[in-house]
């Protein structure tokens, strides 16, 4: 059972109780209760088919579910869509990309929750987009269409879009897809910076070593949460090894935790 006693209620970003969700006719999440602390970086890991992406979508309010989800103290259904969108930014995995829009325009779409319906982008919008594009090193080719960019470049633009929302809570599903090592390192640094600034970051990562850079780890298997704890804890490491059938081992190297394959 996840350990929630040490977490005070006003520093909870997302509180989920008894979540059940189905994809088609198959129940994918079985009675999940989870508390994600605010101003912390939580990583969700687990084997394929554990339901990580589904859980993230449910927490973002994008899938129908049974149970309760509260965002920053308020129940999700009670919030208007726009309000929720201003507080919560979601980056999906393999979502279609707008090949014909420029990188700048794509990043500007992240400002939609803040823009009045028919209003053109304001000075703040432009500033936010500029910050976001700089943060992902995508500023230099902001005028190029997405279809002309490589996989990694495109991913960085989509990341910028998620950042441009400047929401309190960021949910990111496989944010490192197609990124090469320098940019993976950049992302790790960026996540840490966001958390230091008081934002909450929740990421689903299948690269376990990168996931171990976070503050908290949520381990999932077969639609249930098997463990939640600090990334540095030994119990967390054991839970991690167990969920992957002891095919990995967690070791420390150069001040970081690493999951190496056990051949």
Partner 1 sequence: MSAVALPFPSQHRQVLLLALVLLLASVALLLLGVSVGSTGFESVRNMLDDAQALQIVREIRLPRTIGAWLAGALLGLAGAVAQGLFRNPLADPYLLGSASGAMLGETCALVLLGVSPLAAHWLVRIGLTSAAFAGAMLAVLLTLLLAKGVQHTLRLLLAGVVVGVVLGAVSSLILLFNPNLMQAMQSFMLGSTAFVDWTACALMASVLTVSLIAAWMMSHVLDGLALGESTAQSLGLRLPQMRVALVAVLALATGTAVAQTGLIAFVGLAAPHLVRSVVKTTHGRLIVLSSLMGAVLLMAADILARWLMAPQELPVGVLTAVLGGGYLLWLMHRHTGRGAGL
Q: Which is nearer to partner 1, 75 or 182 (CB)?
A: 75
Q: Which is nearer to partner 1, 27 or 139 (CB)?
A: 139
The residue whose two tokens read 């999440």 is 29
CB of 97 to partner 1, least distance (A): 7
CB of 159 to partner 1, least distance (A): 12
Helix (H) or strand (E) holding 257: strand 256-261
CB of 63 to partner 1, least distance (A): 8
Give helix 151-164 / helix 123-135 axis angle, nearest 10°: 140
Q: Which is nearer to partner 1, 35 or 89 (CB)?
A: 89
CB of 108 to partner 1, least distance (A): 8
Alpha carbon of 65 to those of 56, 58, 76, 112, 154: distances in Å?
12, 7, 11, 26, 31
CB atoms within 10 A of CB 26: 7
Length of the chain in residues, anyone?
A: 263
Residues that bind partner 1 in the complex, under the rule CB under 8 A: 57, 60-62, 81-86, 88-92, 95-102, 104-106, 108-110, 112-113, 115, 117-118, 120-123, 126, 130, 142-143, 145, 147-148, 158, 161, 165
**Contact, 164 vs 132, CB < 8 A?**
yes
Half-sphere exposure of 256 (CA within 13 A, CB side): 13
CB of 117 to partner 1, least distance (A): 8
Q: Which is nearer to partner 1, 3 or 83 (CB)?
A: 83
CB of 142 to partner 1, least distance (A): 7
Strand partners, 169: 88, 200
**Contact, 27 vs 19, CB < 8 A?**
no
Q: Which is nearer to partner 1, 97 or 226 (CB)?
A: 97
Q: Which is nearer to partner 1, 71 or 239 (CB)?
A: 71
Q: Give, as one character, the DSSP assignment of residue 121.
A: P
Q: Give, as one character, the DSSP assignment of residue 149.
A: S
């Amino acid at each position: 059972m996840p350990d929630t006693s040490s977490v005070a209620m006003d520093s909870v970003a997302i509180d989920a109780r008894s979540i059940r969700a189905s994809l088609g006719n198959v129940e994918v999440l079985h009675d999940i209760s989870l508390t994600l602390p605010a101003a912390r970086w939580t990583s969700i890991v687990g084997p394929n088919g554990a339901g990580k992406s589904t859980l993230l979508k449910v927490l973002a309010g994008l899938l129908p579910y049974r149970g309760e989800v509260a965002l920053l103290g308020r129940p999700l259904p009670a919030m208007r869509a726009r309000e929720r969108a201003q507080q919560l930014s979601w980056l999906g995995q393999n979502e279609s990309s707008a090949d014909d829009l420029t990188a700048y325009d794509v990043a500007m779409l992240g400002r939609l929750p803040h823009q009045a319906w028919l209003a053109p982008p304001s000075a703040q919008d432009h500033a936010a987009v500029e910050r976001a594009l700089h943060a992902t090193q995508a500023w230099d080719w902001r005028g190029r269409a997405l279809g002309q960019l490589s996989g990694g470049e495109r991913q960085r633009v989509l990341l910028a879009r998620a950042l441009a929302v400047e929401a309190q809570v960021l949910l990111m599903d496989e944010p490192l897809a197609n990124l090469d090592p320098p940019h993976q390192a950049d992302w790790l640094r960026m996540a840490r910076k966001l958390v230091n600034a008081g934002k909450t970051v929740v990421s689903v990562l299948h690269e376990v070593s990168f996931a171990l850079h976070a503050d908290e780890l949520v381990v999932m298997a077969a639609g249930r949460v098997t463990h939640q704890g600090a990334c540095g804890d030994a119990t967390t490491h054991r839970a991690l090894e167990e969920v992957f059938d002891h095919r990995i081992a967690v070791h420390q190297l150069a001040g970081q935790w690493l999951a190496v394959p056990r051949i």
